[in-house]
Structure 1
Amino acid sequence: MAVDPVPSDLLYRACDVSQFEFETTAELDDHTGLVGQERVLDALRFGTGIRRQGYNIFVLGPDGAGKHEAVLRFLSGVAIRERAPSDWVYVNNFTTPHKPVALELGAGTGRQLKDGMARLIDDLKVTIPSILESEEYQNRRQSIDEEYQEKQEQTFEELRAKAEAEDIALLRTPAGFALAPVHDGNVLKPEEFNQLPEEDRKRIEATIQSLQKELAETLEHVPAWQKEHHQRVRDLNREVAERTVERAMRELRALFEGLTHVEKWLGEVMADLIENIGTFAGASGGDEGSEQQRVMAAMQALMQGRGGGFAAADPFRRYEVNVAVDNSQEARKTGATTWRAQDIADAGGYIGGGAPILYEDHPTMANLLGRVEHMPQMGALVTDFMLIKPGALHRANGGYLLIDALKLLREPLAWDALKRAIRRRKLVIESAGEYMSLVSTVTLEPDPIPLDVKIILLGDRYLYYLLSNNDPDFGELFKVAADFEDEIDRETENDLLYARLIASTCREENLLPFDRSGVGRIIERSSRQAEDAEKLSTVMRPIVDLMCEADHIARSAGALRISADHVDEAVEAQIARADRLRERSLEMITRDIVMIDTEGERVGQVNGLSVLSMGSISFGRPSRITARVRMGLGSARVIDIEREVALGGPIHTKGVLILSGYISGQFLPEIPLSMSASVVFEQSYGGVDGDSASSAELYALISALAEAPIAQGLAVTGSVNQLGEVQAIGGVNDKIEGFFDICVRRGLTGEQGVLIPAANEKHLMLRQDVVDAVERGMFAIYPVEHVEEGVELLMGAPAGIRGEDGNFPAGSIYARAEERLAAFADNQRRFAQRSDDGPATGRPANSRPANSRKGS
């Protein structure tokens, strides 16, 4: 059952650069597709093609896999073929100002309405004052005023004449009209009036009383005359305004002819302009005390009373147009052919033509649904329709909205708000403050907008399954999952695609081109990152980082292209920057602070291997595992010390329990085992989890049972099942290199090596120094399929196979282990028999209490 070590040429799969026909990546075309992601492409095609409720998309995959860029690149090809969606504008509601009206317009025409209304008001500011100051208008106005004055003067003149006939004067005072007696043309003073005979005084008083009654009746008619006068002035203004406004709006109304909702609003604008014609009276200047100015002030006060809370003193603000969504082609064309998140930011949130593609980097409730802003005015917060700010859902309506799922879930109320919008299929602006009853400021209730947008969430797999299991709405609203592959097969076709991907990255990141050796080394690093010599990693962020660092090194050296040497130097620099903890770990072992043997033999002691991950760096670290055994009480019990002290995780505990199952099934199948054993990771002071050390623990246990020493120059990794089969584990390269580094520091002897599961042989992508040592015969990697093979390698003797007679071969490791277990069982039976024959205390018959004395 001898196991041959892995040949050196299988420890590292080099890329065959002779398959590349280019000299540098500058000669290659960009790769705009998704390498090895056919499943994702199918999901995206289906998700963007189906237009039914709930078929939104969740793109899931590891961080750094380039999900954002890949989805944007795909959508850019889809959206360009779609129709540009409508523009949306908010305008004033002249009957209910706190409920602004939302108007849907053709793409690019929202700004036409805004500009048209601005031109209309500017024209009226000039036209109406000039008309009001024209000779024709002034003559008609003067005629109305003169008729009013004449009527008023005539009435008072008749009363004055009647009073004078009775020697009574009608006087106009600051307080109003007054009647006073007259004698010889002069008004009598009070003292002169009192000197008149009593009969004359009574006559005069009676006359004045009668005239006062007539004066009061006359004054009662004055408001009616004023009202009639004002009405005639308004009729005149309306007549002038109707002709002027209708003529001014003719072109604007023709531009939107056929759009019923726009025509209706323009009709309301026209009626309001006619009603408030006086607002324009002083728009182009004039005397402060002019009649027009007074009319304007009155009309502005009336407007503010009706409007209720306009945020600006400008009386013409009510006629403005708030373009919430502008889908004009010019606003969304960038001319780019490949897309990144930065491209979206540079383009104002939009990519390409056709339907909008928007990525919301900060998905708060307000940034998604929009908000109504307020302005301080005279100690209060006021608002109007011009302060309505659109959200990402407004701008992406009719297209595609990308959101990072984790960022969305971190924002209070945002997730529920998005679900409400999707379910209702309309966009209602909501305020978080009002939702939580924290704000009582007067605000607006804008018209809801119909929502037709494809939501694309991006996140990792854990988040996707967490939402699937815990949010019942998630599966209803996000029915399409686009699952990114972590890795693809390493074959000639994909090597060439990877080379084109490297070329695209060089152009996007403005890097020097890679030569063939540099491309080959990047492909090899990708396999190392995938921990599989037969795979390439699709997690591109670490690869792009490595390319950027290699570019820096090449430029510093004055090179014109990036070669394998530059990539190797970048890898070494990455390791060196993050290597402090690994160096401290190696130092503690080489100084014998942490006890690890790399030479000699020990019973019940083996070197297990684990991987420590610290941020962006991971490295292998050997650990001493020891086992002790003794007679038990009728069962095979293996005590996991890590579990007993709450340092072992559930998977590690499972691995230890599997050891008990293997021992029970392998030895003394017809006799109850009487063994108690303990297994522990020595000098381990943190949590331990995973089952990759279960084979090492089993070897230590068998060694302790058989009292067979284990060669300390070998280290072990691999999990084991109850049948004794050694199973694959992760991090095999780091684990091998971690033990190799210890052996190098202490000196290679040629008898050192690592036992790995045979299934991990295809994952080997070891460092060159490890490969060189294996090639020189100074280090070995042994692929083990079964525990028996590992026993023979570690203990220098065959494990043994049970023969037809039911026994293991004499002298084999398993025979020695079974003999000792049989001795445990025999001793346990004799102990139990003595206990049955002895006193009730359970002690042997000839034993006595520990505190008894002779002769007592």
Structure 2
Amino acid sequence: MIDPLKPDQLRKVCPPESLSFEGTDELKPLEGVVAQDRAVQAITFGVGIRSEGFNLFVLGPAGTGKTTAIKRFLASEAAKLPTPPDWCYVNNFADPQRPRALCLPPGRAHLFQADCKRLLEELKIGVPRAFEAEAYEQNRHTILEELQKQTSDELEALRKRAEAVGFGLAKTASGFMVIPLFQGKPLKPEEFEGLDEETKRLVNLRSEEVQKDLAGTRRRIRDLEREAKNRLDGMDREVATSAVDHLIEEVQERYVDHAAVRAHLEAIREDVIANVDLFRRDQSGTEGLLELTAMLRQGLDPFDRYRVNVLIEHGEDGGAPVVVEPHPTCQNLLGRIEHQVHMGALYTNFLMAKGGALHRANGGFLVLEAMELLKQFFAWDQLKRTLKNRRIKIEEPGEQFHLYSTVTLEPEPIPLNVKVVLIGSPWLYYLLHALDPEFLELFKVQAEFSDRVARTPETILAFARLLSTCCETEGLKAFDRGAVAKLVEHSSRLVEDQERLATTFSHLLDVAREASFLAEQAGHHRVMAEDVRGAILARIKRSNRLDERLQELITERTILVDTDGGVVGQVNGIAILSLGEYHFGKPSRITARTFLGRGGIIDIEREARMGGRIHSKGVLLLSGYLGGRYAQQVPLALSASLAFEQLYEEVEGDSASSAELYAILSSLSGLPIKQGFAVTGSVNQQGVVQAIGAVNAKIEGFFDVCRARGLTGEQGVLIPASNVRHLMLREDVVEAVAAGQFQIIPVQTIDEGIALLTGREAGERDPDGTFPEGSVNALVQGRLREMAEQARAYGADSQVRPSSDRQDELP
């Protein structure tokens, strides 16, 4: 017989005296990553390599500290890198709808913006002042007087020529017109009609000549006006140039090494000179009025064209940026173009172009949650396109689909040099890898965080230092070494492995926060082991209402589960129910009925569509075991039905396959199974019992039922021997085992398990293929041979009967 496990095999205790400190307040805070060497190496490689497409995807279970670790690591690495340049947008005077991007050294964009702002203020003062000079006014007055005199001379000469042929000039609102004269007075229309035809003809001919002379005079006057305007414009340009040049040159001297900035300042100079009336308007109130009115109607400042839009600015010697974008929409990633609403219309200009996360991270690192990115409309495609083109283009999300038509901009794209780090779960990584061909081209570095690490003194110390960091950061009470030991044990329980620790630090730190709260309420100087134990129990208490209700139903025998006696074809299995983070074991009665036939094993759960694929596979394996074990010389003439009694949810997994096989063997052999035992474990076709998951919850679920009914010392759970290292049972279970009230028995094969459950030796096969008389296997084999003979006899009998007799027989 197999010996039950000893108490020290059921839970690996962390002795407080094994820790080298009295409390976490003695430890230095942790700055690195806890025992994630594989991930750290991958991140180090991904950060260091500069080739295109080597962006990172950091994957691992939730709560392992991926985001915190990657931010700390990137912050450390970014501090060693050079600070990227500043970027700003300026007006494109040749095409205002396409603003130009200027690159400046770190910290210079704000200075350039201030320089342009100061230049504009000086131009507003200097240009009008230049036009107020006395010499300018005299020259302007002289040109206008010359124009007036020349115009008067032309008109006077025209008047004399017209009077010489009997015509005069009359000034109207639209200019001058020619009218005939009679005796020095204008000829009235009725007087003109009273003239003879020959006189009328002569008047008309002379009128045409005078009209031609008037048109020629008008052309000469327009030429004079045009010449005068050119002289005035030239004079204005000279005055404006003299007022603007020294101001522009003063700013240009600060940017000797920046050709693009100097070119922009030169464009400002040309535009100010060409639109000098815009500045003179401030003083006179008349010049440039039309342009000003048009811009004001759009809600825009006419002087915005000379300002600077600082898109991204970095401090000097600040290292590379590390940007974490929690809401990666298209606009938050690539930037946006804002609009102003005025009189029901939308207007914009280059000052309303705003940078996104890619602009802020340019030259450094951008950290994104992969799932959040994929949930945003167009964001994933836009990010891929931007990374492939290596330039950031600000555009409206709906522009490519022509969802709306309004005034917008096409800012000049900015070159991109960024390392993108996506953080997500393993299944999401492999899903993108399988379904998106471009994914592997852009994210070539896989950094995987494990959900567990080896339980060594080094990792325990690292965990304690992480706990110390959390206490210092959040103002929690320090933990004494007994409390740390309890957290270490709880960590091993989370991964169900005595030799491993969980890296789900979010859960562990939540327990630590609750324990600190309880310690403060109890007035403890440090958090003690009892506080940690209380926090763990409190978390369970908040979640186990359904667990307690099911235990009550089993205790009241509403749900039928036996914990004593023996029953043929019936065994206690254990299912797992999950409610959020809390999962627990639910004992269930598994029954088997065997009878003559060739239907094989009928899985009632599968037939009722309540069984999952893995469970169905486990049941099908039982036929292979029975056939290979007992039907080498005779056919398997067996039908068997299996059912989980009073189980109304879907059954999934193969952890009950060994229990189902025990029930079938009991039904065939006629030997009762001890109901004080529950069974878990999967089985293969060779009869080897294989490891399963959630072994602790399953044991504890049956233990709670037995304790409610009364522990007798004859109760226990059969588990796969390969699951022994996964045991981190509750302390009350361990105490019951130590007191001889409960048993945990490891089994390696079905033969070992059936012998324990029936109290009868399973029996080894003899060389002649038979089993020892009275053994379980012998009884099973004998029953299967009887069924085969009965099936053969039934078949032979049915063949000799008339067909009319067989019509009334059951099949």
Quote the Cα distance in structure 1 between the aligned partners of 2:602 and 2:117: 85
Contact 2:127 2:279 in 1 (8 A): yes
CA, structure 1 residues 810+224, in 2 after alignment: closer, same or farther (shift >3 Å)? same
Does 2:300 align with 1:313? yes
Does 2:753 align with 1:766? no
Relative to structure 2, which stretch is displaced further, 218-227 or 2-11? 218-227
TM-score, reference length from structure 1: 0.90
Match of 2:419 in 1: 454
Match of 1:297 in 2: 289
SS of the equivalent of 1:281 reads helix
Aligned residue identity for 1:703: S
Relative to structure 2, which stretch is displaced further, 655-664 or 503-512? 503-512
SS of the equivalent of 1:527 reads helix
Quote the Cα distance in structure 1 between the aligned partners of 2:91 and 2:63: 47
1:623, distance to aligned residue in structure 2 (A): 0.9
TM alignment of 1:295-444, pairs within 5 A: 295-298=287-290, 300=292, 312-329=299-316, 353-444=318-409
Cα-to-partner distance string for 1:623-658 (whole Å, 9 max, x where unaligned): 11001111224xx81111111121111111111111
Contact 1:487 1:530 in 2 (8 A): yes
Does 2:512 align with 1:547? yes
TM alignment of 1:139-538, pairs within 5 A: 139-160=138-159, 170-177=169-176, 190=188, 213-283=212-282, 285-286=283-284, 288=285, 293=286, 295-298=287-290, 300=292, 312-329=299-316, 353-538=318-503
SS of the equivalent of 1:692 reads coil
Contact 2:364 2:417 in 1 (8 A): yes
Contact 1:31 1:504 in 2 (8 A): yes
Quote the Cα distance in structure 2 between the aligned partners of 1:201 and 1:670: 143
Match of 1:658 in 2: 621
Match of 2:606 in 1: 643
Match of 2:64 in 1: 65
TM alignment of 1:723-802, pairs within 5 A: 723-802=686-765
Quote the Cα distance in structure 1 between the aligned partners of 2:298 and 2:494: 59
SS of the equivalent of 2:231 reads helix
CA, structure 1 residues 841+451, in 2 after alignment: closer, same or farther (shift >3 Å)? farther
Contact 2:154 2:221 in 1 (8 A): no
Cα-to-partner distance string for 1:493-521 (whole Å, 9 max, x where unaligned): 11111110111121233212111111111
1:777, distance to aligned residue in structure 2 (A): 0.7
Aligned residue identity for 1:394: H
CA, structure 1 residues 732+124, in 2 after alignment: closer, same or farther (shift >3 Å)? same
Quote the Cα distance in structure 2 between the aligned partners of 1:709 and 1:3: 19
1:810, distance to aligned residue in structure 2 (A): 1.6
Aligned residue identity for 1:745: A
Cα-to-partner distance string for 1:535-558 (whole Å, 9 max, x where unaligned): 100011111211121122222333
CA, structure 1 residues 191+438, in 2 after alignment: closer, same or farther (shift >3 Å)? closer
Quote the Cα distance in structure 2 between the aligned partners of 1:192 and 1:639: 125
1:601, distance to aligned residue in structure 2 (A): 0.8
Match of 2:12 in 1: 13
SS of the equivalent of 2:686 reads coil
Contact 1:180 1:187 in 2 (8 A): no
1:154, distance to aligned residue in structure 2 (A): 2.8
1:366, distance to aligned residue in structure 2 (A): 2.0
Contact 2:168 2:186 in 1 (8 A): no
CA, structure 1 residues 530+59, in 2 after alignment: closer, same or farther (shift >3 Å)? same
Q: When the two structures are aligned, how many residues end up with a matched partner? A: 809
Cα-to-partner distance string for 1:143-196 (whole Å, 9 max, x where unaligned): 222222222223234445666788976554445335678899x96695997899
Contact 2:601 2:620 in 1 (8 A): yes
Match of 1:138 in 2: 137
Quote the Cα distance in structure 2 between the aligned partners of 1:359 and 1:620: 41
Match of 1:107 in 2: 106
Quote the Cα distance in structure 1 between the aligned partners of 2:194 and 2:382: 91
Aligned residue identity for 1:696: A
Relative to structure 2, which stretch is displaced further, 195-204 or 698-707? 195-204
1:207, distance to aligned residue in structure 2 (A): 7.6
Aligned residue identity for 2:271: D
Quote the Cα distance in structure 2 between the aligned partners of 1:322 and 1:579: 58
CA, structure 1 residues 696+165, in 2 after alignment: closer, same or farther (shift >3 Å)? same
Quote the Cα distance in structure 2 between the aligned partners of 1:89 and 1:310: 27
TM alignment of 1:66-85, pairs within 5 A: 66-85=65-84
Cα-to-partner distance string for 1:388-439 (whole Å, 9 max, x where unaligned): 2222112211111111111111112111111111111222223321222312
Does 2:709 align with 1:709? no
SS of the equivalent of 1:559 reads coil
Match of 1:682 in 2: 645
1:663, distance to aligned residue in structure 2 (A): 1.2
Cα-to-partner distance string for 1:471-510 (whole Å, 9 max, x where unaligned): 1111111111001011001111111111101111212332
Contact 1:279 1:296 in 2 (8 A): yes
CA, structure 1 residues 205+657, in 2 after alignment: closer, same or farther (shift >3 Å)? closer
1:454, distance to aligned residue in structure 2 (A): 0.8
Does 2:533 align with 1:568? yes
TM alignment of 1:774-853, pairs within 5 A: 774-840=737-803, 843=806, 849=808
Quote the Cα distance in structure 2 between the aligned partners of 1:463 and 1:575: 30
Root-mean-square deviation over aligned CA pairs: 2.6
Contact 2:572 2:679 in 1 (8 A): yes
Match of 1:38 in 2: 37
Match of 1:94 in 2: 93
SS of the equivalent of 1:679 reads strand
Quote the Cα distance in structure 2 between the aligned partners of 1:113 and 1:254: 12
SS of the equivalent of 2:510 reads helix
Quote the Cα distance in structure 2 between the aligned partners of 1:19 and 1:620: 33
Contact 2:248 2:266 in 1 (8 A): no
SS of the equivalent of 2:610 reads coil
Contact 2:712 2:741 in 1 (8 A): yes
1:376, distance to aligned residue in structure 2 (A): 2.4
CA, structure 1 residues 135+842, in 2 after alignment: closer, same or farther (shift >3 Å)? farther
CA, structure 1 residues 646+206, in 2 after alignment: closer, same or farther (shift >3 Å)? closer
Match of 1:337 in 2: none
Quote the Cα distance in structure 1 between the aligned partners of 2:797 and 2:165: 154
Quote the Cα distance in structure 2 between the aligned partners of 1:195 and 1:778: 142
Q: Which blocks of at least 5 consecutive residues in structure 2 are unaligned? A: none
Cα-to-partner distance string for 1:555-593 (whole Å, 9 max, x where unaligned): 233333211111111111111111111112112211212
Match of 1:335 in 2: none
Quote the Cα distance in structure 1 between the aligned partners of 2:328 and 2:790: 72
CA, structure 1 residues 178+815, in 2 after alignment: closer, same or farther (shift >3 Å)? closer
Contact 2:281 2:289 in 1 (8 A): no
Contact 2:395 2:410 in 1 (8 A): no
Aligned residue identity for 2:519: A
Quote the Cα distance in structure 2 between the aligned partners of 1:197 and 1:94: 65
